[in-house]
Chain A
Amino acid sequence: MRNYVAKRIFAAVPLFFIISFCSFVLINLSPTDPAVAALRANDVPVITEELVEQTRAQLGLDQPLLIRYGKWLSGCLQLNFGQSYVKKISVSSLILPAFLNTLKLVTVTSVTIILLSTIFGVFCALREGSKADKGIRGILFVFTSMPSYWIGPLMIWFFAVQLNILPTSGIGNASHYILPVIVMSFSYIGFYFRLIRNSMIRNSGENYVLYEKASGLPDRLVNRHILRNSLQTAISGFCMAIPGMLAGTVVVENVFAWPGIGRLCVSAIFDRDLPVIQAYIIIVAAFFILFNLIADLISAAINPKQREG
């Protein structure tokens, strides 16, 4: 086990460097000159050649690429992502509070998804082929294919405007979480629910279940064993989904005016605020790698077969 952990961590580190380098180089390949972008973002009326040179020196863009990458990366590791071109404050003071807001939303959503998909999954697996099973599967399938940018505004219209029982948007007390969390869970529950349901059904055909039933174990106990074995696939799936959700909040945050990282990134794209975009990419990538690592380690801890691979 210890060897496996060390191997996985060593594999993750170079991946982080490759991704950070790619995102840095890509931003520098951008058809718009960062210096020009910075000047435009500040509404400078006439952009002269001289002004561009001056800004370039000021932003440190006249140094070689590798030196700039080194400086940028060491800054990133100290949570210093440079200055925003538009807001004139440090990127970290913009992005860190936004990131915490997104993290709050993602945490609440993932707990909801795990609870609901396990409940529905177990329920449907135990009643495979029945009307209830078909009904729940059909309803969840429809929910999954409803785009969140459609169901979100409709829910705002119904619950916040017509019934006036929930806030329309923004962040505040617990009631602000309800609508975004529901809308976000819709698109994931269908998938995880099916994962649990199908792996439970697959497990119930295994020999150990037949043996337990033949030995006269009570159904409740047998089902608990089936569930424990089928949760293995689901757990690594959940861990993989959390970083995906960090990136997938973009739409929900924009619909519900949630002051998170996705909304910040979209507004940075419109402003062509390159340092903010760069910081967004590197933060989400770092979390993605971290959670993939955790997912691998958890599934290795549960399933010894994985450690060999």
Chain B
Amino acid sequence: MSAWKKLKQDRLAMCCLVFLSSVVLVGIFAPFFAPNNPVAVDTSLRFAGPSFQYPLGNDQLGRCVLSRLIYAIRPSVLLVLFALSITVMIGTVLGLISGYYKGRVDNVIMRLCDVMLSFPSEVITLAIIGIFGVGLQNILLACILTKWAWFTRVIRTAVMQFSEQNYVQFAKAAGCSTFHVLTHHILPMTLSEIAVIFSSSVCSLILQISGFSFLGLGMQAPTPEWGMMLNEAKDVMLSYPTLMLPPGIAVMLVSASFGFLGDSLRDAMDPKHEPAVTKRKKIRSTV
């Protein structure tokens, strides 16, 4: 609870949290917020400037830029969050098993993680797309495949730390089932760890997945996606450079907010952390 209090004092983190929640809500209820149909082509409106009906203007096919931006939240943010949740679940289950039972099971899982982690994630993603073909679902699959090992490692370390604690020993001695011990006494303690790695990896993942869509390997036209929109805007960049701005700024703001939130969350969860200013004063006073 004290972590939440610390987080609430952090104004920047609260701004990010409010901004991100509203982005997610707008994405979920995209049809209510989008002024126009995101895929409706109107050649008479090609490259039209901002107007009352089309607040951000129209793209090279006369589609509403704002509506495309809003609908693109779904693949660019919501699907990434979904894929990451699956990864966290896999990581949590394997991490719990590995950290609690130790021994041979732990060894096997850890060697598997070593193999996965010894490979850059971009290469695995390219390999998966190369094998199963172009498409967003394959990129998300690749993201699950590349990230689970890392989550498993982090959660395993946390579990190992807590499973030796006295209260866990007591619960075991009192005859609680292993499942009960894991879900009631160990899992809640690792939640902070999970929250930190979740929010910090969303940031890089959003950038990465939009990047693959930018290369034409992810989302396929005409479905709007931020990376895709940038790719289309790049082709007409020399005559209409302003089309580059909305999707680029959207990617930047969302990923930066997740990054800030992850950092603040880590500081809030870390009981040892002190703000830089007070620490500096302390050093001065000791010296």
Contact = CB atoms under 8 A, between A and B. Distances in A.
State yes or no: do A and B come from one complex.
Answer: yes
B123 interface: yes
Contact of A269 (B120, B217, B230): B217
Interface stretch (B66-74, B92-100, B171-179, B244-252): B244-252
B53 interface: no
Main secondary structure of the interface of B (DSSP, over half): helix
Q: Which residue of B234, B251, B276, B286 has the most chain A CB atoms within 10 A of its CB atom?
A: B234
A134 to B, nearest CB: 9
Which of B114, B132, B211, B280 has the most CB atoms of chain A within a 10 A radius of its CB?
A: B211
Given A29-B131, A154-B244, A277-B130, A248 B251 contact: no
A293 B126 CA distance: 24
Given A129-B277, A129-B280, A210 B287 contact: yes
Interface residues of A, number: 56
Contacts of A32: 133
A277 B123 CA distance: 10
B130 A19 contact: no
A19 B234 contact: no
A254 B215 contact: yes
Given A31-B132, A265-B130, A277-B130, A204 B248 contact: no
A243 B287 contact: no
A243 B122 CA distance: 11
Nearest to A19: B119
Contact of A141 (B119, B231, B238, B259): B259
Contacts of A144: 259
B283 interface: yes
A178 interface: no
B126 A280 contact: yes
B256 interface: yes
Contacts of A147: 207, 210-211, 214, 230, 248, 251-252, 255
A85 interface: no
Interface string B235-261: 001100100100110011001100100
Given A147-B251, A147-B255, A277-B127, 14 more contacts: A22-B115, A129-B280, A141-B256, A145-B252, A147-B230, A154-B241, A157-B244, A205-B279, A205-B283, A248-B120, A248-B122, A250-B126, A284-B120, A284-B123
Interface of B: 114-115, 118-120, 122-123, 126-127, 129-134, 203, 207, 210-211, 214-217, 227, 230-231, 234, 237-238, 241, 244, 247-248, 251-252, 255-256, 259, 276-277, 279-280, 283, 286-287
17 contacts: A18-B115, A26-B131, A29-B131, A145-B259, A147-B230, A149-B211, A150-B244, A153-B237, A154-B248, A246-B120, A247-B123, A266-B216, A269-B217, A270-B134, A277-B130, A288-B120, A288-B123
